[in-house]
Amino acid sequence: DQQVKQNSPSLSVQEGRISILNCDYTNSMFDYFLWYKKYPAEGPTFLISISSIKDKNEDGRFTVFLNKSAKHLSLHIVPSQPGDSAVYFCAASAFQGAQKLVFGQGTRLTINP
Amino acid sequence: ETGVTQTPRHLVMGMTNKKSLKCEQHLGHNAMYWYKQSAKKPLELMFVYNFKEQTENNSVPSRFSPECPNSSHLFLHLHTLQPEDSALYLCASSQTGPNNEQFFGPGTRLTVL
């Protein structure tokens, strides 16, 4: 049973517009969430994280929103740039197993010029 | 060298071979991890080491044998693997404790014939 789900395998967005990537989780013990970005032939690169005591965290063009009651988080990228084209992974961990990251399947984002 | 490096980047082996994957981190971290990513599946945590001690084994078959001689180096020894073990094997490192992002290497693409 997958505890972290990214239901959209792919997303296509026009350059300059907002990209919204979604992630759902089932384990109510998760209290720390991360987004990673992966280019082909490279390992995942950390983008942004959020603790469950917050509902929003912003870093430049990237904002992560957390809705604990819905067990849902989203990553907003605005404005989207061609270099943002990559696979994005959502990950979660629980304090009790803080180093055990559980990953979603990933969403392939394509930014069109 | 900076970040997390992995060698080899690609490996093809037969089911009776013995091989080893190597990971090295230059970030001063004290925790290291092995992950497996099979086709169309999320990243799966295999092992966690903190200060050279194994603290997590995620029900990994004994044909995968990790070794962590110091906080900067991590090995994954492989023997009598099966074709279904073909996957991308990723190493990561982090500071110990909760809420610390993990930094990934580029991975080793393993094919078992």
Q: Which chain A residues touch B27 with a CB distance below 8 Å?
A: none
| Beta carbons within 8 Å of A111's beta carbon, 6+ residues apart | A13, A14, A15, A19, A80, A81, A82, A83, A84, A85
The two most distant CA atoms of chain A are separated, in Å, by 44
Q: How many CB atoms lie within 10 A of CB B96?
A: 16
Structure confidence at residue B102 as a pLDDT band (50, 70, 90) = very high
> Which pLDDT tens digit goes with each residue over B29-47?
999 999 999 988 899 999 9
Task: Check: CB of residue B112 under 8 Å from CB of residue B82.
Answer: yes
The minimal CB distance from B105 to the residues A43, A98, A104 is found for: A43
List per-residue pLDDT tens for chain A, 113 residues long. Answer: 789 999 999 999 999 999 999 999 999 999 999 999 999 888 999 999 999 999 999 999 999 999 999 999 999 999 999 999 999 999 999 876 568 899 999 999 999 99
Give the integer Cα–Cα distance in Å for B14 and A73.
Answer: 42
How far is the alpha carbon of B109 from chain A, nearest alpha carbon, in Å? Answer: 9
Compute, in degrees rounded to 10, the torsion defined by CA atoms A94, A70, A90, A78: -130
Structure tokens at B102: 């993990």
pLDDT at B1: 56
Kindly tell me the sign of the dihedral angle through the C-alpha atoms of A85, B87, B47, B18: negative
